[in-house]
């Protein structure tokens, strides 16, 4: 499980993965959070729209099911239209056993059991433009976008492809999406083996704290900079803090920074939780004045 990414971190993760994004209105704050919490999050849930020209529906919903109905709508041309962020009306209730399998990173999902868990609170939801009748095709560009957006969210949270499920795998009530989820997970897993090249930032590096050196990060070091680092890790969805973050560098900071390193593609001893220059510059800790 993980803290949801900030909206800025989320859209940056998609763009870094090569996803074409179009932002609509106040999508960053358009949600159903007043109906209950969003997070901790456990995975990505995919749907098909069962209709065409669904952008307005995904944004506004209906009188019975108010919008947003997802975070993003994947169009036929592969563009991901961002319509909301946070709790959205996409999943409804689903299986406790399926959620447990997702949380355990299990490669095999059980058949969905009784509807008992609120999926809106714990999944990122995406709608895919398709009639869902078995005859409406999913163009290559569209499936590529689904693969990349799923990989982007998984990479950001250090999840594997097992965290990507279909609505039809969540509940017995649904049949979407109308493509093979095992095949899609195989594609996402292959994508996760490719380290993307992030787009360069247009913001001057002078806006961020310079790298203080790896030796600075010793257990017990106290500084406002440590708090700032922890806040950035939380914003990126890599925070493992029971309390905090705070001004003293400790084991929770090391664990959180290691998650950030793994998100960047480091493995083994290279993801040791001690900042290096490259990972530090990618974290972009704001200057403290």
Which DSSP letter does residue 34 get?
Answer: G
In SS3 terms, 112-129 reads as CCCEEEEHHHCEEEEEEC
Work out the average pLDDT over 256-282.
88
Percentage of residues in the chain having pLDDT higher than 70:
95
CATH of span 7-192: 3.40.80.10
pLDDT at 102: 95
pLDDT at 270: 80
- Residue 198 clears pLDDT 60, i.e. is over it: no
Question: The pTM is what?
Answer: 0.71
Chain centroid, CA 194 distance in Å: 17
Percentage of residues in the chain having pLDDT higher than 90:
74
38-80 pLDDT tens trace: 999 999 999 999 999 999 999 999 999 999 999 999 999 999 9
What confidence tier does 205 reach under pLDDT thresholds 50, 70, 90? very low
Identify whether the C-beta of residue 187 lies closer than 8 Å to the C-beta of residue 147: yes
Q: How far apart are CA 278 and CA 87, in angstroms?
A: 34
Pair of tokens at residue 202: 């247009």
For the chain, domain boundaries: 7-192, 205-283
pLDDT at 200: 47
Chain centroid, CA 76 distance in Å: 21
Q: How far apart are CA 242 and CA 229, in angstroms?
A: 16
DSSP H helices, the chain, are 7-16, 55-60, 96-103, 140-157, 167-170, 181-192, 224-235, 251-263, 277-283
CA angle 89, 95, 100 (to 5 degrees): 110
Q: How far apart are CA 113 and CA 196, in angstroms?
A: 37
């Amino acid at each position: 499980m993980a803290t949801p990414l900030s909206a800025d971190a989320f859209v940056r993760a998609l763009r870094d993965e090569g996803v074409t994004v179009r932002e609509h209105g106040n999508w960053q704050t358009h949600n159903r959070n007043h109906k209950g919490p969003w997070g901790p999050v456990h995975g990505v849930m995919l749907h098909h729209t069962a209709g065409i020209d669904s952008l307005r529906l995904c944004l506004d919903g209906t009188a019975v099911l108010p919008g947003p109905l997802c975070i993003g709508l994947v169009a036929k041309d592969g563009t991901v239209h961002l319509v909301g962020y946070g709790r959205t009306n996409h999943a409804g209730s689903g299986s406790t056993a399926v959620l447990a399998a997702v949380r355990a990173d299990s490669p095999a999902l059980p058949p969905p059991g009784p509807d008992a868990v609120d999926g809106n609170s714990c999944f990122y939801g995406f709608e895919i433009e398709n009639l869902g009748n078995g005859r409406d095709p999913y163009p290559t560009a569209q499936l590529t976008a689904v693969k990349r957006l799923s990989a982007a969210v998984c990479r950001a949270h250090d999840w594997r492809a097992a965290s990507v499920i279909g609505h039809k795998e969540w509940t017995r009530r649904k049949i979407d999406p109308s493509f093979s989820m095992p095949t899609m997970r195989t594609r996402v897993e292959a994508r996760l083996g490719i380290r993307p090249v992030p787009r360069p930032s247009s913001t001057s590096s002078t806006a961020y704290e310079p790298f203080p050196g790896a030796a600075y990060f010793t257990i017990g070091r106290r500084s406002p900079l440590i708090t700032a680092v922890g806040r950035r890790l939380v914003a990126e969805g890599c925070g493992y803090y029971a309390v905090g973050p705070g001004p003293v560098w400790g084991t929770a900071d090391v664990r959180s920074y290691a998650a950030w390193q793994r998100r960047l593609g480091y493995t083994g001893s290279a993801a040791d939780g001690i900042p290096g220059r490259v990972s530090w510059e990618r974290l972009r800790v704001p200057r403290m004045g």
